[in-house]
Amino acid sequence: MEEFDVLYRVLTQQKEDKNKVYSIHEPEVLCISKGKEHKQYEFGNKSSFTYTRGSGIIVGAMAIDGNAYDGHTLEPQLEQVRELTGGKIKKAIVDKGYKVKVGILGVDIVMPKMLKGENYYLKKKREERCRSRAGIEGLISHLKYDHRMIRNYLSGTAGDKINTLLAATAYNMRKWMRLKKDEILNLIFRWIYQTLILSPVNIQR
């Protein structure tokens, strides 16, 4: 019956309708407005990522059900980060798309918008933090093109969530391997030296 319901929606939907079907085999696919001149719309699902300002490690990744407003996704994302890291979040840096309250869950929200009564020092400090937030665009690009988020081959909303978590995990693992590259190579060379040079294998003919 579910397949017939999808087909009925395809046949009866109009141009101005909301929640239209864009893919018969994946009816959960959404049309997401990007607000960019070169690409106004994208088709898929929304994903939210949180990364640390200093190290650039992803500490939160979740797929969003439905075409939710960005500001409504911030609270569940902060809750996920707290649950995964067990740490206290002091500040969350977001862009202008997140029109939220000053604080959520006791976290100070930093936005590019100028605050009332803000002096020159605080303004420069806020602008510096917001510039560091721009790094998330490069991170998302790496997730799409280097870690297979550009095309999701897993089915349904559960597949969207799994694909998001796997891409974030692969990104962190790759970053960790780069940091530990010298240490890993030293361990490999030490094993080769101890096994093959200090304890050579006797070959009998």
Instruction: Show the 3-state SS of 35-59.
Output: CCCCCCEEEECEEEEEECCCCCCEE
pLDDT digits (tens, 9 = 90+) for 1-21: 778 888 888 888 888 888 888
Would you state the pLDDT for residue 166?
Answer: 93
Would you state the pLDDT for residue 168?
Answer: 93
Task: Quote the CA–CA distance of 123 and 115 in Å, as a whole number.
Answer: 8
Strands 41-44 and 91-93: unpaired
Task: Quote the CA–CA distance of 154 and 72 in Å, as a whole number.
Answer: 26
Question: Mean pLDDT in runs of 10 for the chain (205 residues)?
Answer: 81 84 85 75 86 86 85 88 86 80 76 72 77 81 88 87 93 89 84 72 52
Name the nearest CA neighbour of 28 among 19, 41, 40. Answer: 19
Would you state the pLDDT for residue 154?
Answer: 87
Task: Quote the CA–CA distance of 200 and 26 in Å, as a whole number.
Answer: 59
Name the nearest CA neighbour of 113 among 95, 131, 139, 135. Answer: 95
Would you state the pLDDT for residue 170?
Answer: 93
Q: Phi and psi of 105, rounded to 5°?
A: 55, 35
